[in-house]
Amino acid sequence: MQFIAKHTLVNRVAGMVALLSVCSIMPAVYADTEKAAGYATAAAVNTDEVDSSESSELTAQEASDEASAPLAKEKIIPWAWGNKWLQGTINRAGGDDEFDPADGIDWGYVPNPVYSSEKKLGLGLVVFGLFVADEESLNVENVKPSQIVFKGFGTTNGAKGFETNLRSLFRADAYRLNVDLEFADTPEVFYGLGIEPSQDEANELIYNHQGQNFQAHGLKRVFGDTFLGLGVRYHDNQAEDFRGANVGAATVLTDSTSVGITGHWLHDSRDHQDNPSKGWLLQFDYATFNESFASDTDFDQLEFRYSGYRPIDTFLNQRTATLAWQVQGHLSEGNVPWDRLSLLGGSRQLRGYEQGRYRGHQKVLAQVELRQPLTGRHGMVTWVGVGTLAEDISDLGEERWLPSIGVGYRLRIKEKINLRFDVGFGRSDKGVYVSVNEVF
């Protein structure tokens, strides 16, 4: 396969402004002067009774200052008590914000509310663990931990799913192993290919998606921060129970099995795999699917991404923020089945758009995010992004660009692991997302 892409991504991207300053409630502590005077009188009388031989006695002002201390503790607003309760609850669930590499796998868990227009309201559970994979890595100063995450959910309309992700580093990060496994039984939408058809409600097709997806690849450090690797992919997906305005489009969503091998090149100078604060990543992933591997069709795909991270000072000058940016593309050639098409929308691709609505053979997107720590375990993010689709690589940039803007709240549940709540807004669409780890 040859990817010949000579295109210009020129459209203007709206500037990003910090949208909100959440959780910035300041505790108010004050003393009631009349009660303070009462405490002062009582304190003076008690002092005389206990020891009349004292050469010096507390003055009224000193007694008032002493009396104000218990008052101050009583008058702290509910935010402080709620924050204390929250931290205690997280600690009991294994999110004590500490990680000792010598302790084996450091487990934690957190409930995960789920909502989307298709899945409706539901509840999930996220179980996560930090660990160091081998003895050699234990001897490295400031070792980067490996991570394993299990996620499961169920919703009120019967949707359910399970997912596990492994990011493991071996021999002081000389080798890496990445594994992703997913089972899904959820309602989804299909509007066709491209931006314009997907904006027409007359093209809506709703279906139940059942799928099993697996991918794994290993990487070896070849020099500096550069890695090379090989991997495999297996995707088996079915669509059934069609309904909506465009039931005739169901003929496109046939049962699909795709089996392929992958090659990987990346340069990774980030200080952390899932929540970096500095460094950059440049990555190319190539996959070829062929009938000789038991795949239903022959096609090839190339995915590239560039991500950068930089610490910056903001209006909260005592807490350093992170400015993160990313450009990514997903390019395809051949007979690509519906479940392997490029997507815009969802919790990671372009927040603010319904997942599955915008699909195409070629995709590019860019996003910029400001990640601002607040007090304690709390933080916030704001972002702006833009993306588009095309049928051919040479046509990228000719269809309408979709903007994305939003704000999110972060709760640190473990060292470098955040529970994230994001609200994204797109053109005539919006989305609410709850997950673990940053988007990129």
Tell me, what's the pLDDT at 145?
Answer: 86
Contact 324, 293 (CB under 8 A): no
Of 58-67, 321-330, 376-385, minimum mean pLDDT range: 58-67
pLDDT bucket at 206, cuts 50 / 70 / 90: very high
Question: Given a cut of 60, is residue 110 above it in pLDDT?
Answer: yes
pLDDT at residue 140 tops 90: no
Q: Residue-wise over 331-353: b if at least 16 C-beta within 10 A, else e?
A: bbbeebbbbbbbbbbbbebbbbb
pLDDT of residue 436: 82
- Name residue 12's amino acid: R
Q: What is the rounded average pLDDT of the residues 305-330? A: 92
User: Is it the case that residue 221 has pLDDT exceeding 50?
Assistant: yes
Residues 6+ apart with CB under 8 A from 9: 364, 366, 396, 397
Asked whether residue 177 is domain-assigned, the answer is yes
Q: What is the mean pLDDT of residues 130-148?
A: 84
Residue 37 forms part of a structural domain: no
Residue 225 sits in a domain whose CATH number is: 2.40.160.50
- Among the residue ranges 45-59, 157-171, 209-223, 369-383, the one predicted with the least confidence is 45-59
- Whether the pLDDT of residue 101 is over 80: the answer is no
> Residue 349: which of 307, 305, 387 has the closest Cα?
387
- Summarize the confidence of residues 104-121 as an average pLDDT: 79
Q: How confident is the model at residue 72 (pLDDT cuts 50, 70, 90)?
A: very low
Among 62-76, 184-198, 313-327, the least confident range: 62-76
Q: 190: closest CA among 208, 172, 167? A: 208
Residue 40: what pLDDT?
38
Task: Indicate the pLDDT class of residue 377, thresholds 50, 70 and 90.
Answer: confident
Segment 159-188 shows an average pLDDT of 94
Report how far Cα 76 is from the mean position of its chain's Cα atoms: 33
In a domain, 20, yes or no: no
The whole-number average pLDDT for the span 62-90 is: 51
pLDDT at residue number 216: 98
Q: Considering the domain boundaries, does residue 317 fall inside one?
A: yes
Predicted pLDDT at 428: 87
The mean-pLDDT minimum among 92-106, 175-189, 286-300 falls in 92-106
Amino acid at 122: G
pLDDT at 37: 39
Q: With respect to residue 4, please indicate whether it lies within any of the assigned structural domains.
A: no
Residue 136 falls inside a structural domain: yes
pLDDT at 359 over 80: yes
Contact in structure between 326 and 349 (CB atoms under 8 Å): no
CA gap 229, 223 in Å, rounded:
13
In a domain, residue 52? The reply is: no
pLDDT band at 41 (very low <50, low <70, confident <90, very high): very low
Full residue range of the structural domain in which residue 405 is found: 80-436
Instruction: Specify the number of domains making up the chain.
Output: 1
> Closest Cα to residue 218, out of 260, 267, 258, 263?
263
Q: What is the pLDDT of residue 255?
A: 95
Contact status, residue 106 vs residue 130, Cβ threshold 8 Å: yes
Greatest mean pLDDT range, 26-30, 53-57, 339-343: 339-343
Higher per-residue pLDDT: 346 or 261: 261
Is residue 345's pLDDT more than 70? Answer: yes
CA torsion angle for 40, 44, 47, 51 (degrees, to 10)? 160
pLDDT at 327 over 50: yes
Tell which residue, 100, 27, 83, has the closest CA to residue 376: 83
8 lies in some domain: no
C-beta separation of 177 from 216 below 8 A: yes
Average pLDDT, the chain: 81
Q: Give me the pLDDT at residue 151, please.
A: 92
